Homo-oligomer: A and B are copies of this chain.
Amino acid sequence: MNYKFLIQYDGSRYSGWQKQGNTQKTIQGKMEAVLGKMTGTQVEVHGSGRTDAGVHAYGQTANAHFQTDLSVNQIRDYLNQYLPEDIAVLEVTTVHPRFHSRLNASKKTYCYRIRTNPLRDVFGRKYTYSMEGPFDVHAMRRAAALLTGTHDFTSFCANRRMKKSAVRTIYEIRIEQTEDELEFWFTGDGFLQYMVRILTGTLVETGLGKREADSMTAVLEAKNRDAAGMTMPPQGLALMNVFYMKEPV
């Protein structure tokens, strides 16, 4: 049977989603260990994509093929019983045998949170990155509008040696300002390595007046990582949602 998982995690203690040998702590590794214990066989868990070390997830998805007599709710409860307290499985469902959480994902939403209040929030400290403004939100929104759409995002990718296409579509970049925070919401069909953190860093530099909003077109055209802004630290980033078509192929 093919099972789909909806997973939440506090990434603070982890080396990211993806397994990296035996010594690293990863969410995929923890999931596979518990499912291996549950089924008595080796289970491979396929995530919708990597999240980097220190990045959080409110709605990561994954799938895995295995046999069990347990119901989906029993599988969920078993996982939550044995997973560490900073990982939670919110939902387990059965899906089409050919469903693949990465290959069938149609859209993803990420959110980057910056705490702009200079006083730290001791309760949210692991889930925001602190930066004092002032930020020109209008300039950031103008820049965001130029980045929205289908572009070659090579300038916003950490991995220069990537051979595959760097063309991605960003459907929406929403920037929200509250009394204490700036939130950057990105929805797109896929994101390259560090892309959300570099996009946020470039928008932040625009908000601080270090870049012109209009320069975004030139940054995209440069197809060169050096043309874009800084890579924001991981702790402000969270994968919020992974979307699928109604009928997985």
Instruction: Report B-chain residues with C-beta under 8 Å of the C-beta of A90.
Output: 119
Query: In chain A, residues 38-52, which have Cβ atoms closer than 8 Å to a Cβ of chain B?
Result: none
In the bound complex, how far is the Cα of B85 from the Cα of A127, in angstroms?
13
Stoichiometry, as copies per complex, reads: 2
Instruction: Report B-chain residues with C-beta under 8 Å of the C-beta of A125.
Output: 10, 85-86
In the bound complex, how far is the Cα of B123 from the Cα of A120, in angstroms?
17
In the bound complex, how far is the Cα of B122 from the Cα of A9, in angstroms?
6
Interface string of A84-127 (1 = CB under 8 A from B): 01111010000000000000000000000000000111110101
**Could you tell me if A122 and B10 are in contact, using CB atoms closer than 8 angstroms?**
yes
**Could you tell me if B123 and A10 are in contact, using CB atoms closer than 8 angstroms?**
yes
Main secondary structure of the interface of A (DSSP, over half): loop
Interface string of A6-33 (1 = CB under 8 A from B): 0011100000000000000000000000
**Could you tell me if B86 and A8 are in contact, using CB atoms closer than 8 angstroms?**
no
**How distant is A239 from chain B, measured CB to nearest CB, in Å?**
13
Question: Which residue of the partner chain, among B86, B88, B122, contacts A119 with CB atoms under 8 Å?
Answer: B88
In the bound complex, how far is the Cα of B125 from the Cα of A87, in angstroms?
10
**How distant is A118 from chain B, measured CB to nearest CB, in Å?**
8
**In the complex, residue of chain B having the shortest beta-carbon distance to the beta carbon of A90:** B119
**How distant is A110 from chain B, measured CB to nearest CB, in Å?**
16
**How distant is A75 from chain B, measured CB to nearest CB, in Å?**
13
Instruction: Report B-chain residues with C-beta under 8 Å of the C-beta of A86.
Output: 122, 125
Instruction: Report B-chain residues with C-beta under 8 Å of the C-beta of A121.
Output: 8, 88
Asked, given contacts A85-B125, A86-B125, A125-B85, whether A120 binds B80 with beta carbons under 8 Å apart, the answer is: yes
In the bound complex, how far is the Cα of B90 from the Cα of A126, in angstroms?
18
Please provide the 5 A-B residue pairs with the shortest distance between their CB atoms, ordered closest to farther: A10-B122, A88-B120, A88-B122, A8-B122, A86-B122
Other A-B pairs, 4, CB within 8 Å; known A8-B121, A8-B122: A10-B125, A85-B120, A88-B121, A88-B122
